C-alpha cells in the first residue's frame, strides 16, 4: 500500500439498514455488507424506530467483522473510521455513531462524520470520477433535492421538497393499493405494466424555482381511489400506478433538466433510493440525451441506490483529505442539512 492510499471503514445506520464497508481512495469498494430489516418492518407498514434501533444493536458488531473479513484487512490497514451522523432516525444514528466512536478510540484512528445525503451523491463516485460543476438529483424516502456542486465537497441545495418527498409519496400510495412495505419498487413494476389513463397534477412544474411538492399529487390519487370505491367502480391498479408515476417522473425530470441547462454543468448525477426507479432512470437518461447530450449522466447500480456504507466511505474520502475529523463528543443529528 502506497502512502497516497487511504482505506476507510465506514458505518451506515440512519434508518433500517445496518451496513459497514471498507473503501479505498473513495472509489474502490473492498467490501460492502448490508443487513436489511425490511421483513421486520413489513408487518407494520413502515419503519418502526424502536425496532430499527434494536436491530442495529444486535447486528452492528457482526457486520463490522463481516466487512473486515470480506475486505481481507485488519484494523492495521484502516486509516480512518467514518459514520453517518445525520439525517435519519435518532435512535438508529446513535448506534452507528457509538460504534464508530468506540472503534476509532480503541484503534486510535481519525473519526469522520458524514452527511447521509452526501453519501448518496458520492455513491456515483464509485461508478465514475465526479466532474465539476455538476448537478445531483437526490430522491429518497425522505428527501427530494437538486444539489449543485461547484467543486468537491461543496453543496448548494437549489431545490427541495416542500412537503412529501417522492419516495414517501410512493410508499403512501402503495399502502392505499394494499401493497406490502416498501411499496415504491412494486409501484414502479406495476407502472410498466399499466397505461396512463388518469391525469394527476404536476405540482409546481411551471413555477420559477426548482422546488418540489408531492403532497397534492398524493391527495389527488387517494381521493380518486376513495371516490371510486364509494361508487363501487373498479380502478385498474396498474393504470393508477402508471398515471401516478408519470406525474412524479415528469416533474422531477422537467425541473432537473431546466436546472442543468441554467447551471452549465459537466455531469448530472442521480442519487438516493428512488434512483432505483426504472421509470425515472429511463426518462431522465432519454431527456438528457435529447436536449443536453454533452452532459454526462451518471446513475448508480441498484446495489448503491439504497442505504449502504460504501457510499459513506466514498464521501468520507473527501472529508479525510480536508481533515474534517470529529472528536469523541460526536453526536447524532437527525435533522442535519446537507452542507452543514
Binding residues: 116, 120, 138-142, 171, 184, 188, 277, 307
What are the binding residues for Fe cation?
Answer: 116, 120, 307
The burial class, CB within 10 Å (0-12 / 13-18 / 19+), for 205 is middle
Name the DSSP class of 133.
S
Q: What is the CA radius of gyration of the chain?
A: 20
Cα 229 from Cα 262, distance rounded (Å): 45
Cα 186 from Cα 76, distance rounded (Å): 44
Tell me the Ramachandran region of residue 101: left when phi exceeds 0, alpha when psi lies from -120 to 50, beta otherwise.
Answer: alpha
Cα 336 from Cα 77, distance rounded (Å): 31
DSSP 60-81: HHHHHHHHHHHHT--GGG--EE
Q: Tell me the three cell numbers of residue 48.
A: 418502526
Torsion of CA 127, 308, 83, 139, to 10 degrees: 80
Name the DSSP class of 212.
B
Q: Sign of the CA dihedral 324, 113, 184, 245?
A: negative
What are the binding residues for substrate?
Answer: 138-142, 171, 184, 188, 277
In the block, residue with C-alpha cell 392505499:
176
Amino acid at each position: 500500500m502506497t502512502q497516497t492510499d487511504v482505506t476507510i471503514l465506514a458505518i451506515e445506520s440512519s434508518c433500517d439498514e445496518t451496513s459497514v464497508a471498507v473503501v479505498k481512495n473513495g472509489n474502490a469498494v473492498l467490501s460492502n455488507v448490508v443487513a436489511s430489516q425490511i421483513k421486520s418492518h413489513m408487518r407494520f407498514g413502515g419503519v418502526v424506530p424502536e425496532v430499527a434501533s434494536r436491530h442495529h444493536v444486535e447486528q452492528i458488531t457482526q457486520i463490522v467483522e463481516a466487512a473486515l473479513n470480506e475486505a481481507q484487512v485488519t484494523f492495521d490497514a484502516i486509516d480512518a473510521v467514518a459514520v453517518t451522523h445525520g439525517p435519519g432516525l435518532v435512535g438508529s444514528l446513535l448506534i452507528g455513531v457509538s460504534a464508530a466512536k468506540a472503534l476509532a478510540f480503541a484503534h486510535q484512528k481519525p473519526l469522520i462524520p458524514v452527511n447521509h445525503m452526501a453519501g448518496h451523491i458520492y455513491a456515483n463516485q464509485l461508478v465514475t470520477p465526479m466532474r465539476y460543476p455538476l448537478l445531483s438529483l437526490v430522491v429518497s424516502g425522505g428527501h427530494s433535492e437538486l444539489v449543485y456542486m461547484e467543486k468537491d465537497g461543496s453543496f448548494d441545495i437549489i431545490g427541495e421538497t416542500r412537503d412529501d418527498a417522492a419516495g414517501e409519496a410512493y410508499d403512501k400510495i402503495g399502502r392505499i393499493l394494499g401493497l406490502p412495505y416498501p411499496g415504491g419498487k412494486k409501484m414502479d413494476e406495476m407502472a410498466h405494466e399499466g397505461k396512463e389513463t388518469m391525469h394527476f397534477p404536476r405540482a409546481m412544474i411551471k413555477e420559477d424555482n426548482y422546488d418540489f411538492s408531492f403532497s397534492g399529487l398524493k391527495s389527488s390519487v387517494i381521493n380518486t381511489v376513495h371516490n371510486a370505491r364509494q361508487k363501487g367502480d373498479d380502478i385498474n391498479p396498474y393504470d393508477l400506478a402508471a398515471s401516478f408515476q408519470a406525474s412524479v417522473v415528469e416533474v422531477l425530470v422537467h425541473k432537473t433538466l431546466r436546472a442543468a441547462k441554467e447551471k452549465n454543468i459537466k455531469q448530472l448525477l442521480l442519487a438516493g433510493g428512488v434512483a432505483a426507479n426504472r421509470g425515472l432512470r429511463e426518462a431522465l437518461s432519454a431527456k438528457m440525451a435529447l436536449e443536453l447530450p454533452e452532459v454526462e449522466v451518471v446513475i448508480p447500480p441498484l446495489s448503491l441506490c439504497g442505504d449502504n456504507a460504501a457510499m459513506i466511505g466514498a464521501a468520507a474520502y473527501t472529508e479525510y483529505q480536508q481533515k474534517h475529523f470529529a472528536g469523541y463528543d460526536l453526536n447524532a443529528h437527525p435533522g442535519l442539512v446537507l452542507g452543514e
